[in-house]
A and B are shown apart, each in its own frame.
Chain A
């Protein structure tokens, strides 16, 4: 074999080896980028950081000088840039697509489009000059599950070489990852939007329910001119007791509603009985005493957010010692919410004027409550109630709820704070939760 031919073969083989080594290095480098991209998209990173990292990976894997990633808004029909590198300040942040553009991109799927050969499309006619100025060479629509979710813009390669088939394959592979990340983000945004909508609807519904309850309370109290505002006050006291017991926000609201509606059964009682300026007789008393059971019948068919509201109406006149009505329940048989409303109801009855008597002095009322803790009232509820009032008297709370409900003069009764403190010492910690004192 001639010497120069042997040398040529050697050169060719060395050249081949070098090319193979380079191809292998390139393969390792781009696959490394692809693996990192997959990891990035699957991680819990902030979406903006994911997109910025993805742009770095696609540019750095093939040595591309500049580029950008955008997200498609199907409502505004525009591509909004999420991340850009080297495109300059003049590059638009939003690029509009027309129907023809969208149709063509969907038809073509996730496939790079050479900008220089795409002048037929309106998109490239409109933005052709911009792409030329920023030296963009490839445009890659991100089509995921038959939907355009975004696009990638790519500038020239640092080598100055045109994009090869291999380069485009890598770009498509990376584009699918980036497109999936955008699609996932779109889905999450949609879920968040609908969740916010649902939350708002739920809040509106709750407000409607609350307004309806208050309207009911006003209707109940309208019948009884001497106890105007009674249901609202019982609702407020019940709320205070529940909050002082450390109940959750929903349960506190439930207690308030139970208070507002506890006397709904009175709507069926004759006005002359309710407004009687004298003590009513046995027959009238029997009529009036039907109101808890009637209240239960009225409230039970309604789907309350708080299941115990009807029970509070039915059992708010039961007593711990079993001497209440309508069923003579005692102690643990009485639903807890009914015990709360019972205390609030009794307190309001004692602290408001009646047709046959004026409201009782504060000291007398609190003394009465303490004496009846364990007989009529659950002691821990009396404790909670006293604690709530004492906090307000001591200036520990900003909102003067009791002052608004009872009046300033009542709250400034002499010795009230001292009486409450002494009562608290007597009632806790030794008083068992459900002690029944002997008569």
Chain B
């Protein structure tokens, strides 16, 4: 009986890092979504949103990040939030954001 050999080559992961800074909590934060969308169109399979300089995430910020998650999901890509402070982690847990994206902190 013949068996098809499984491909042993690992999938190529293209990662893009987007820095949210303090753009996130206003309407202008939509440009973060546009940046992410562009990276996905360029073939990114993983989006890292760096929140190291984002002290607080308000409702607008949450909506924008959910938009990033939605777009990435439709493109079959993964979303990671990095350098997230404790307060934001609690918020993400409460609103269910952390169900859809990984949270990674260096230290």
A interface with B by C-beta (< 8 Å): 22, 25-26, 29, 32-33, 36, 49, 52-53, 55-66, 85-86, 157-161
Q: Are A158 and B97 in contact (CB under 8 A)?
A: yes
- CB atoms of B96 and A60 under 8 A apart: no
Q: How would you classify the secondary structure of chain B's contact residues: helix, strand, loop or mixed?
A: helix
Q: Which residues of A contact B62 (CB under 8 A)?
A: 59-61, 63
Q: Contact: A160 with B59, CB < 8 Å?
A: no
Cβ of A29 and Cβ of B63 under 8 Å apart? no
Contacting residues, chain B, for A26 (C-beta < 8 A): 94
Which residues of A sit under 8 angstroms from B59, Cβ to Cβ? 29, 32-33, 36, 56-61
Apart from A60-B61, A160-B96, list 20 A-B contacts with CB within 8 A.
Answer: A25-B90, A25-B91, A26-B94, A29-B94, A36-B58, A36-B60, A49-B27, A52-B27, A53-B27, A53-B60, A57-B59, A57-B60, A63-B96, A66-B70, A85-B67, A85-B70, A86-B67, A86-B70, A158-B96, A158-B100
What are the 4 A-B residue pairs with the smallest beta carbon separation, nearest first?
A63-B95, A159-B96, A60-B59, A158-B96
What is the CA–CA distance of A63 and B91 in the complex, to the nearest angstrom?
Answer: 10
**Cβ contact within 8 Å between A56 and B60:** yes
Asked if B99 is at the interface (CB within 8 A of a chain A CB), the reply is yes
The residue in A32, A53, A64, A65 that gathers the most chain B C-beta atoms within 10 A of its C-beta is A65
Contact B95 A62 (CB under 8 A): yes
Is the Cβ of B63 less than 8 Å from the Cβ of A56?
yes
The residue in chain A whose Cβ has the minimal distance to the Cβ of B61 is A60
Interface centre among B61, B66, B69, by most chain A C-beta atoms within 10 angstroms, is B66
Contact B58–A33 (Cβ < 8 Å): yes
- B contact residues, total (Cβ < 8 Å): 21
CB <8 Å contact, B99 and A159: yes
Q: How far is the CB of B87 from chain A (nearest CB, A)?
A: 9
Q: Inside 8 A of B95's CB, which chain A residues have their CB?
A: 29, 62-63, 158-159
Q: Residues of B at under 8 Å CB distance from A?
A: 27, 30, 58-64, 66-67, 69-70, 90-91, 94-97, 99-100
Chain B residues within an 8 Å CB radius of A86: 66-67, 70
Check A65 against B58 for contact (C-beta < 8 Å).
no
Q: Which residues of B contact A58 (CB under 8 A)?
A: 59
**Which residue in B27, B63, B90, B94 is a CB contact (below 8 Å) of A59?**
B63
Q: In chain A, what residue has the closest Cβ to B56?
A: A32
A22 shortest CB reach to chain B, Å: 6
Nearest-Cβ distance from residue B102 to partner chain A, whole angstroms: 14
Contact check: which of A33, A52, A53, A59 meets B66 at CB < 8 Å? A59
Assembled-state Cα–Cα distance A61/B96 (Å): 12
Known: A32-B59, A36-B58. A56 touches B96 (CB 8 A): no
Given A52-B27, A66-B70, A158-B99: A85 touches B63 (CB 8 Å cut-off):
yes
Q: Give A58 to B30 CA distance when docked, in angstroms.
A: 16
Chain A residue at minimum C-beta to C-beta distance from B33 = A85
CA of A158 to CA of B69, assembled, Å: 10
Task: Give Cα A25–Cα B39 distance, bound, in whole angstroms.
Answer: 34
Among the listed B67, B70, B91, B99, which residue makes an inter-chain contact with A29, where contact means beta carbons less than 8 Å apart? B91
When distances are taken between beta carbons in the complex, the residues of chain A under 8 Å from B60 are 36, 53, 56-57, 60
- Residue in B61, B63, B94 whose CB lies within 8 Å of A55: B63
CA distance A291 to B39 in the complex (A): 85
Q: List 10 A-B contacts (CB under 8 A).
A: A25-B94, A26-B94, A29-B91, A57-B59, A59-B63, A60-B64, A66-B70, A86-B67, A157-B96, A158-B66
